[in-house]
Amino acid sequence: MSIKNDRWITQQSTGPRFNYYYQEKLIHEYLPLEWFKFEDVKEPLRALTNGQSYMADPDTRIIKMTNGDMVTPFVDHSVKEILRNGQFVKAPSHGLSSYGYDIRLGRNFKVMNGYRTAKHAVIDPTELENMEGFFTNLNDVDAIEMAPHSFALGVAMERLVMPHNVSGICMAKSTLARIGCVAMVTPVEAHWSGYLTIELKNETDHPMRLHAGMGIMQVVFFMGEDCDTTYADRGGKYQDQPAMPVVAR
C-alpha cells in the first residue's frame, strides 16, 4: 500500500479533490456490483488513487527493509513454538509473515493496581504526571498471570527503527483474540524507534497466563511517499522507548 503523506492530506482536505474522495460511497451505489469483477476495472479504479496500487508490503520487501535493521532481532520465517522449562512447546507464532511481522512478548511488565490499592483513584488523560503510581513492576519474568478483567503493560522483544517513509499498523493475533486477550498498540509512525509498549487486557472471567517469547501482535508495514514531518522530526514523546513498558505521559 502506498500511504499518503501529511502534505498530500492537507492539500486534499482544502482542495476540490477531497470532495471526490469523500463521495466515493456514491460510486459503489450507482455502479453495478458485477462491474467490479472485470479485469478492465482495475485501471479506472487505480486512476482514482493517483495511480497507486493499495496493498501492504509483502515479506520480500520487509526483508529488504530489515537490511537496515528495521526489526532487531529479525527472524525470516514463522516460528510456532517457544522454549519453556527446557522443552519446546506450541505457542502463538512470531517472525516474518506474508504481509507483516509477528513481534514477541518481552519479559518486563507493569500491572495496573486495583482501585483500592492505587495511589491515585482517578485516571485523567489531562493529568498524567502520576501514572506510575497506578502500576506495579514485574521485571525479567518468564510469564505473567493476569487476573480476570485486569490490565497490564507489556513490551516487545524486538526493537523497531522505522524508515522515514514507512509506517506500521499493529493488530492482535487471532489465537489470543479468540481466548479473550486484547492486545493493543497504536500506529507505529514514520521514523519512530524503540521497543513497543503493548497494552494487554484480560476480558474473561478467568485468570490468563501469557508467556515471554510468544508471538503477541502482528505489525503490518506500509511504505509510502516521504512526509514533510516524521515522528522524530516533531520530537514525539514516545521516541526511543526502552525495553521496559512506558506508561502514558
Contacts of 99 (CB under 8 A, 6+ apart): 55, 56, 57, 58, 59, 220
Give the active site residue among 43, 127, 129, 199: 199
CA distance 188 to 192: 7
Instruction: Give the residue among 170, 175, 166 at the shortest CA–CA distance from 220.
Output: 170
Contacts of 195 (CB under 8 A, 6+ apart): 106, 155, 156, 157, 158, 159, 160, 241, 242, 243, 244
What phi, psi does 231 have (nearest 5°)? -60, -40
CA angle 9, 15, 16 (to 5 degrees): 120
Paired residues of 112 in beta bridges: 135
CA distance 51 to 91: 41
CA angle 118, 130, 125 (to 5 degrees): 100
CA distance 31 to 39: 15
Residue 15 is classified by DSSP as S
Q: Is 199 a catalytic residue?
A: yes
Q: Which residues are catalytic?
A: 199
